[in-house]
Structure 1
């Protein structure tokens, strides 16, 4: 199976450890993942702000970069949602039947990380170890657009040493929303402050999510509040072997 990593713009520019963690994790599971160097943005910022015509060349670029792969894995529910649901809208608007056909072939092969692990590879225990108290924030696109359900929590519960704590009002948006945070800054910060308060109430040491954008937003607020809670991408926790050597020696 040929598998490609769709790293996303944000991870590539600001949070490369998330992308590296995906590669580490998949290779540990025997998947030879490739990184198509020609990949660029998925086009979501343009589509979300109404620039569908401008998104057409971006979708064309996506098709060229990822055609021929059996699966495209991304550490982002947001970008996976864009590829699976928005690209077909852009392709239809372009009036190019060839692009529409190519998108229809590629889009179903795009998987958010937890979907790929649970549904495609059929694994929940990925051999991770992370001896910390963790709470999980289900991001909006993964929850509502992709419907990943409890896949991330199932993966986290199988991590050795990890204690998964409930996040109060977990399904509420963190307030980031891409350009929403820029156009409606006060509302975005207020929503994020609520989410940060719920994270503190959970008693967790670490907040985990599947989208770096949400972690950036919530993490910034937690830092300003001096909450003492760090944020980590789901991929980083699943790639972790922290404490594994010590636990093995104890046995």
Structure 2
């Protein structure tokens, strides 16, 4: 199957390993990856800050980029996928009806990585192996906004040697929230501090998530507190093999 890969800004600039492992995983599952070089930011930072009109040009660029074929589009970040799923509404808001129609056709082809693997490819066990105890953090964008709850859990439950641990208030936001963590830094800091406290209580070896931004936020606090918990994106976990 031919698949477009949308790298996302954070994976491109900060966590290249997440993008690399996502591509390798999809190739392992039989996908031929197409990377369209004209892709750019989805506009999420501007949109979340209330500058939706100013983000329209970038949104049009992304729509045009992925109109060149009709392949599924996969991204390793629920927050970006959710932003793009809302493109039609944003274009309609500013009277750009033709772009709203074009955007919907592109948005309908966008998938979070775990959603694509489980629901499009029909795979629940990728043959991964990672020994240890782990806490999975369900990001708000993935679980609340996109409704993708069981897919990442199913994939992780089938990782040989991995034990998933429940924590107190597991569904609670980590406090990142994009620009929220900048505008409301004090509140955000308290939220991630509480999240880390609950994670540390069960003494896991790994913290796993499907959104890089949340992992950067929680991982930063874990590091500052000297917690020896390895932070991993689910794509990195699913590419682990037994030795």
Listed one character per residue, the Cα deviations across residues 102-144 of structure 1 (whole Å, up to 9, x for unaligned) are 1111111101111001110011101111112111000001111
CA shift at 1:52, angstroms? 1.4
- More moved, 67-76 vs 93-102: 93-102
CA shift at 1:26, angstroms? 0.5
Q: Which residue of 1 aligns with 2:20?
A: 20
Q: Which residue of 1 aligns with 2:114?
A: 114
Cα distance in 2 for partners of 1:176, 1:70 equals 32
Q: Which residue of 1 aligns with 2:72?
A: 71
Flag structure 2 segments of 5+ consecutive residues without an equivalent. Answer: none
Cα distance in 1 for partners of 2:33, 2:165 equals 32
Runs (4 or more) in structure 1 with deviation over 2 Å come to 93-98
Q: Which residue of 1 aligns with 2:153?
A: 153
Q: Quick check: 2:3–2:32 contact (8 Å CA) kept in 1?
A: yes
Listed one character per residue, the Cα deviations across residues 129-162 of structure 1 (whole Å, up to 9, x for unaligned) are 1112111000001111100021111100111111
Report how many aligned residue pairs link the two structures: 242
Q: Which residue of 2 aligns with 1:207?
A: 207
CA shift at 1:172, angstroms? 0.3
Q: Which residue of 1 aligns with 2:238?
A: 238
CA shift at 1:187, angstroms? 0.6
> What is the SS of the residue equivalent to 1:236?
helix
Flag structure 1 segments of 5+ consecutive residues without an equivalent. Answer: 246-251
Q: Which residue of 1 aligns with 2:217?
A: 217
> What is the SS of the residue equivalent to 2:198?
helix
Cα distance in 1 for partners of 2:51, 2:5 equals 26
1:5 aligns with 2:16: no
Q: Quick check: 1:165–1:203 contact (8 Å CA) kept in 2?
A: no
